[in-house]
Structure 1
Amino acid sequence: MEYEFTIVVPLFNEEPNLLRVEQELENYLKTAPVKTCILFVEDGSTDGSLQLVQEISRRNNDFKYISFDRNYGLSSAIKAGFDHAETSLIGYIDSDLQTDPADFDLLLEHIGEFDLVTGVRTNRKDSFIKNLSSVVANVIRRSFTHDGMDDTGCPLKVVKADYAKRIPMFKGLHRFLPAMILLQNGKIKQVPVRHYPRIAGKAKFHLLNRLVGPLVDCFAYLWMRKNYINYKLAEKHE
């Protein structure tokens, strides 16, 4: 049976988490409503993450990986995952497992009608400063994009591959995935999902890059929105 759904897992220096990631995703694959595979995107880690990802992929037929020659950042890792997935549906989850793979089922319920379905983290288990900076960043982003999304930073999403593969690359992309689908005249939806504290590894974002980064990236998005090329074929002869 061919795969229908690829779960992209970007990672950078997440060695302490990866065995737990393997176990949780193995458990999800047993109950997933569609035939699912895992694609790790190893983002130039300096710990033992790459070696562990290689081992995991060798012992699990449903697990694949690609690796970068150096660290390029989360947006590049997500985009590479989109580009290399070979299924009609693509999901995204962070390797810190602060969201639950089982909640993909909640998103998949709606993906037929919508082109991107994103989670909204409920009862977030982060620090006060992290939660506050996230709220502020989302307010800034919504004021520019008018995408209506409350939590674009939620690392649990499902998107149709036709739309994902047309998203142009730029830094900060991961904050604008719903807006980039809207630029393609796609339909988006948000669904509440569970959230858990990080129990291993270190967070890669801090107060400064949660606030300054989104503000700068909003201006990049405005340029993109103004210059984005969107077309539909009326006819094709082959």
Structure 2
Amino acid sequence: MDYQFTIIVPVYNEEANLARVEQELTNYIKIATKKTKVLFVNDGSQDNSQSLIEAIADKNPAFHYITFKNNCGLSAAIKAGFDYADTELVGYIDSDLQTDPQDFNILLEHINQYDLVTGVRANRKDSFVKNMSSTIANGIRRAFTHDGMDDTGCPLKVIKTDYAKRIPMFKGLHRFLPAMVLLQNGTIIQVPVKHFPRVAGQAKFGVWNRLIGPLMDCFAYLWMKKKYINYTVSKRN
């Protein structure tokens, strides 16, 4: 089957959410504007997530998975999804489903004109501390990257796969995906998407992950920007 779009779903101890993930993504596939499949990336979960993922994939031919031997973190899970994707477009959504898979169609409306389309969460349903730390972190990132993005942490994105595969990922770089596409002279845009409170499972990021860690990552990004290799082939035989 000629799929056009792969949705990456990183999973780390999300057994309470996976039945809902299956239902919501199955519903989305039925209305998707691109022929869509799903790739779970199990980031070394220690609960029953792997068994549930295998059961989902066994009964749904559009669902696939890869499993890490150990927990490696969100950036590694996203990179693995990019590495294993074999469609022209790749997307990403968190397994907590605080964003709506159906909003992928909104992002896909723009992907012919841009190389990365990211959501910006309208009316966020998170706690005051989480919202404030994210707002500060996004402001710091914009100051360093000049990418113009208001919500780089939004877990709803669509990227042209050839750009995604060229991103040199490091831990924490999932917050810099728009900036990394800009380094490739790609084009980016953000569009508003819906946001919901988490209904099951536990959040994997605290204030340190959202604020102090990203500040340190900004310096890694600046080093990478200075050293980044970019070339255009003008002729070949």
Show the counterpart of 2:16.
16
- The correspondence of residues 26-45 of structure 1 with structure 2, limited to 5 A, is 26-45=26-45
What amino acid does structure 1 have at the position aligned with 2:174? H
Opposite residue 214 of structure 1, the aligned amino acid is P
Aligned-residue offset at 1:34: 1.1
Question: Which amino acid is the alignment partner of residue 25 of structure 2?
Answer: L
Distance apart, 1:147 and its partner CA: 0.3
For 1:48 and 1:227, locate their aligned partners in 2 and report how far apart those are by CA, in whole Å.
42
Residue 209 (str. 1) matches residue 214 (str. 2): no
Cα RMSD of the aligned pairs, angstroms, is 0.5
How is 1:58-97 mapped onto 2 (pairs within 5 angstroms)?
58-97=58-97
- Paired residue type of 1:172: G
Summarize deviations over 1:67-89 as a string: whole Å, max 9, x none.
00000000000010011000000
Give the superposition deviation at 1:208. Answer: 1.5
Q: Which runs of 4+ in 1 moved over 3 A?
A: none
Give how far 1:22 is off: 0.1
In 2, distance between residues paired with 1:218 and 1:34? Answer: 34
Q: How far apart in 1 are the matches of 2:67 and 2:219?
A: 30
Q: Match for residue 162 of structure 1?
A: 162
- Alpha-carbon distance, 1:138 to partner: 0.3
User: Which residue pairs with 1:184 in the alignment?
Assistant: 184
2 CA distance for matches of 1:169 and 1:175?
Answer: 10
Q: Structure 2 CA distance, aligned partners of 1:70 and 1:222? A: 29
Matched residue, 1:125: 125
- Structure 2 counterpart of 1:151: 151
The percent of aligned pairs where both chains have the same amino acid is 70
1:235 deviates by 1.1
Distance 2:211 2:120 in 1: 19
Could you report, residue by residue, the CA deviation over 1:170-213 in whole angstroms, capped at 9, with x for unpaired residues?
11111000000000000000000000000000000001221111
* TM-score (norm: length of structure 1): 0.99
Counterpart-to-counterpart distance in 2, 1:11 and 1:137: 24
Give the match's secondary structure for 2:38: strand
| CA distance in structure 2 between the aligned counterparts of 1:31 and 1:208, rounded to whole angstroms | 38
Instruction: Name the CA distance, whole Å, in 2 between partners of 1:210 and 1:88.
Output: 31
Deviation of 1:104 after TM superposition, in Å, equals: 0.2
TM-score w.r.t. the length of structure 2 is 0.99
**Structure 2 residue aligned with 1:229:** 229
Letter in 1 for 2:73: G
Give SS of 1:37's match: strand
3-state SS of 2:66 partner: strand
User: 2:197 corresponds to which letter in structure 1?
Assistant: P
2:113 is the counterpart of 1:116: no
Letter aligned with residue 211 of structure 1: L
C-alpha separation in 1, matches of 2:11 and 2:191: 24
Shift of 1:137: 0.3
Deviation sequence 1:10-60 (CA, Å, 0-9, x none)? 010000000000000000001101100000000000000011101100110
SS of match in other structure, 1:87: coil
Amino acid at match of 1:36: T
Between 58-67 and 206-215, the greater mean CA deviation after superposition: 206-215
Name the SS for the 1:157 alignment partner: strand
The runs of 5 or more residues in structure 2 that have no matched partner are none
| Residue 5 (structure 1) aligned with residue 5 (structure 2) | yes
Which residue of 1 is the match for residue 193 of structure 2? 193
Letter in 1 for 2:212: V
